[in-house]
Structure 1
Amino acid sequence: MKILDWYILKRYLFTFLMMLLLFIPIGITVNLAEKIGKILEKEVPFGAVAQYYLDFTIYFAHLLFPIFLFLSVIWFTSKLANNTEIVAFLSSGVSFWRFLRPYIIGATIIAAFAIIMGLYLAPKASKGFNEFKYKYLKSSSKVVQTNNIYRQINDNDYIYVSNFTPSTKTGRNFTLEHFEGNTLIYKITANTIVDKDSSYRLLNYTKRTFGKTEDLIQTERFKDTILPFEAEDLTPEEYIAETLQYGELINFIEKEKRRGSSNIGRYQVVKYRKWSLPVSVFILTIIAVAVSSKKRRGGMGVNLAFGITIAMIYVFFDKVFGVMAEQSSFNPILAVWFPNLVFGILAVYLLYNAKR
């Protein structure tokens, strides 16, 4: 690598690191100021709080680091432009594409780091972050309940509950239907089902076995039995996909498809973002260089204002289309990649004009 490459690459990585070190402590301070009351009220152990903020750091650094990268590239490239260093580079015979090369090398390093974070580090941090939040920070007076759950739990069994409360692991109006082929073999119903860790307790239990000539009906006031599913299978937490490493996530999505889960869109958005995020590093880097490589009368302020505007629009597109995929039949792949597609076209346009 030439001196030019090392010079820009070091500035690229150093400024990005400084941007993270600047904003993450601010985020921790704001979050701690908001949560300190509940932490003290529930006497949360110091070790749990320290682990929470470590997970918090990884979780939000992974979530927002393309934006931090975008702003850091605009910042140091604008400084190069204001110091007329870019003019000196290009006047020496260096083409704009050659000037762009160390930025692409830096983006490749950051994108590789983003892949490692997305596949391995962020899921673990997300699990710790969300578990702490639900254990210590959520109001215990608010009862969370899921209604009208109908799921296929394996090839032969289907279950239904009219509502399920995860905090007490209690369901109402429970039904289990067992099929062999297209034939219904037996049906179990109960007014209430309660998870007892190793078994279930059914209240007002009825089992109807269908025969060729007559049906066999069994009823009991209370029935303790083992059933082929876990209570968490009824209502997996909304954030569960974020806590799974990539291989686990693929298997989980396939299992949820077989069960007829209504949250497939939400899970697939998490899956596709693991790959769209590294690509956004290249797109935002190119946009940042194209915008800030020209010396402007307003100085760095104009470039930063434009950069912040672009970043806000990108986040807006990402959130809006992500929610559409999670809560409707909108295609998750299109929802996740649409911001990259739009901003990729913008990057090509801005790069063409910057080169001229």
Structure 2
Amino acid sequence: MKILDKYLLKTFLITFATVFVILFFIFILQTIWLFIAELAGKDLDFVLIIKFLMFSMPRIIPLVLPLSILLASIMTFGNLAENYEFAAMKSSGISLQRALRTLTVAIVIISFLAFIFANNVIPYAEFKFTNFRKNIAQVKPALAIAEGQFSEVGFYNIKVDKKSGENGNFLTGITIHKKSNTGDGSKIVIKAVDGELISSEKSSILQLVLNNGNYYEDIVPEKYEDRQKMPFAKSAFQKYTLNIDLSHLNPTNVDENNVTNTNTMLDVQELRYTIDSLNKSFKTEVVSYAENIHLRTGIPNTQPIYLQDTLGKYKSVPEDILSLYSLDQQSNILKNASSYLTSTNYSIEATKVDLANKQKNINNHLLAFYDKFVIAYACFMMFFIGAPLGAIIRKGGLGLPIIFAVLIFISFHFINTFGKRIAQENGMTPFLGAWMSSFILTPLAILLTYRATNDIGLINMDAILAPVQKLFKKLFPQKKQA
């Protein structure tokens, strides 16, 4: 490796490492802010918080890595151009392609490592992160309830005045509001002097044993005028056991998590197998339901329909089949047919929703499959956007390069998110949705590399201003001097 290659590689890697660390901590702070409700006021010890952050860190890499490469490449080549080092290289016969050779190899290695990371580390971290959030109350159930404030635990809002015991399992001054299934507030209130939390790591049920309390329930009378009296029922108890489903401690519903989030916990081989199984199951269900609907009609596939007359002979069914029946029979037939059509329509609509959810699940798995390759290509593409852009703008440091990097990355991230959302709803193929941002920005990388290689510049102002100057000369011709 020549001295120039070592110099360029060292400069780029130092800048890349610095930018990566800064951006990584910024995104970590964003993660803490997003999950502050789960961390604040829960008496979490330092070890649990570190585990929480460690399991959430890998998901940040797909955002931080391409942005770091983009910003580092702009800053590196911007500094070289600003300090006339590129001019010295060109005067020595070293072109931009030659200067990019060693760095291109380094970016290919980084892209390959990014794919390995996305295929192995991120799925494992997602699995641990989801299960950590789900099972945190099973390890220390008192963490789900904070002192002096209402804590939402599944269908209950629980407030305690004080917690005691080694794990905070013993509660004093308990007030519980149970949510209404109809969404019209809380109609059940439970107050107890003290209680105890009992849980097991093998069970998803958290038991709250209450001692010496009262159970209040609002009663809604059938008559409207009686509702203004606000009647309620009150009962006292010495011991009352409340069972709480721990799956509700995770803001993401566990059943939905199995449908929409497990795709991020699988590697490429597992995703291929899962996608193949889901597609086969989807096609089988569609064919089975279509055959079931057809069988419910009672109409044969190919054989013509014949009716037997009073003489025992068969004749084809007339077009107006209702004319064969009396008016009362016709009325009953039409009512039954209308009822059957309504029932069938409801069945079809429900099945359409179910099939749409299953198709969305398949699309999410396909998007997760393509994302593992997109992140590797994004690293490669961002380098060939940033390096020639830095050579063109000839500005290093943290000023103009940050502006360009943020604008390009926001465009990349917005297009990527937009494409995935449309692909999830089956508005486009998951392949196009996942690769849309790469397809749009790749021509920009090619254009910038071409212009930087030929030393054209970012914008040819002469090509823009020349037609305007000609127009002004025609509109306002200069007077000839005598």
Return the TM-score normalized by structure 2. Answer: 0.51
Matches of residues 252-267 of structure 1 in structure 2 within 5 Å? 252-260=274-282, 261-262=358-359, 263-267=361-365
Asked if 1 retains the 8 angstrom alpha-carbon contact of 2:370 and 2:431, the reply is: yes
**Matches for 1:163-178 after TM superposition, within 5 Å:** none
* 1:104 matched to 2:104: yes
Partner SS, residue 290 of structure 1: helix
State the SS of the aligned residue for 2:392: coil
Amino acid at match of 2:264: E
Residue equivalent to 1:243: 265
Q: d(CA) in 2 for partners of 1:133 and 1:340?
A: 33
Aligned to 2:429: 331
Q: Deviations over 1:185-238 (max 9, x none)?
A: xxxxxxxxxxxx9xxxxxxxxxxxxxxxxxxxxxxxxxxxxxxxxxx8887242
| Match in the other structure for 1:321 | 419
Matched with 1:345 is: 443
The answer to whether structure 1 residue 284 and structure 2 residue 297 are counterparts is: no
**How do residues 3-82 of structure 1 correspond to structure 2 at under 5 angstroms?**
3-32=3-32, 35-36=35-36, 38-82=38-82
1:263-319, Cα deviation, whole Å (9 max, x unpaired): 111110110111122112111101101111135479863333122211111111111
Secondary structure of 2:18's match? helix
Contact 1:241 1:249 in 2 (8 A): yes
Separation in 2, partners of 1:320, 1:131: 29
User: Is this contact kept in 1: 2:23–2:64, CA < 8 A?
Assistant: no
CA contact (8 A) 1:70 1:284 kept: yes
Amino acid at match of 1:337: W
- Kept in 1, the 8 Å contact 2:20–2:64? The answer is no
Match of 1:2 in 2: 2
Alignment of 1:124-139 (within 5 A): 124-134=124-134
**What is the Cα deviation at residue 24 of structure 1?**
2.0
- Let me know the Cα RMSD of the aligned residues: 2.8
Contact 1:82 1:299 in 2 (8 A): no
What is the CA-CA distance between 1:243 and the residue it aligns to? 0.9
Fraction of identical pairs, as percent? 25
CA offset digits 1:41-99 (Å, max 9, x no partner): 33345433212211222220234311121112112221222222122122210012111
2:153 is the counterpart of 1:140: yes
Structure 1's unaligned 5+ residue stretches are 144-196, 198-231
Q: Matched residues in 1 for 2:370 and 2:266: separation?
A: 13
The alpha-carbon distance between structure 1 residues 351 and 274, as it changes in their structure 2 partners (threshold 3 A), is: same
Contact 1:52/1:128, CA 8 A, preserved across alignment: no
Change (3 A) 1:235 1:82: closer
Note the C-alpha offset of 1:132.
3.4
Tell me if structure 1 keeps the 8 A contact 2:78–2:396. Answer: no
Matched, 1:306 2:328: no
CA distance in structure 2 between the partners assigned to 1:90 and 1:343 by the alignment:
28
- CA distance in structure 2 between the aligned counterparts of 1:343 and 1:88, rounded to whole angstroms: 31
* 1:62 and 1:122 in contact (8 A); partners too: no
Opposite residue 256 of structure 1, the aligned amino acid is L
**After superposition, what is the alpha-carbon deviation per residue over 1:11-68, rounded to whole angstroms, capped at 9, x for unaligned?**
2222222222112223333443564553253334543321221122222023431112
For 2:399, what is the secondary structure of its paired residue? helix
Gaps of 5+ in 2: 137-143, 145-150, 157-202, 204-253, 283-357, 455-482
* Native 8 Å contact 2:76 2:396 kept in 1: no
TM-score by length of 1: 0.68
* Closer, same or farther: CA 289–141 of 1 in aligned 2, 3 Å: same
Following the alignment from structure 1 to structure 2, what is the Cα–Cα distance between the partners of residues 94 and 236? 55
- In the TM superposition, residue 331 of structure 1 has moved relative to its aligned partner by 0.5
**Counterpart Cα distance in 1 of 2:269 and 2:110:** 22
Structure 2 counterpart of 1:208:
none
* 2:148 match: none
C-alpha separation between the residues in 2 aligned to 1:117 and 1:237? 24
Distance 2:421 2:115 in 1: 23
Aligned residue in 2 for 1:84? 84
Query: Which is further off, 43-52 or 257-266?
Result: 43-52
Distance in 2 (CA, whole Å) between partners of 1:308 and 1:301 is 11
CA contact (8 A) 1:20 1:61 kept: no
Deviations 1:85-131 (A, max 9, x none): 12212221001211111221121121011011011011111222333
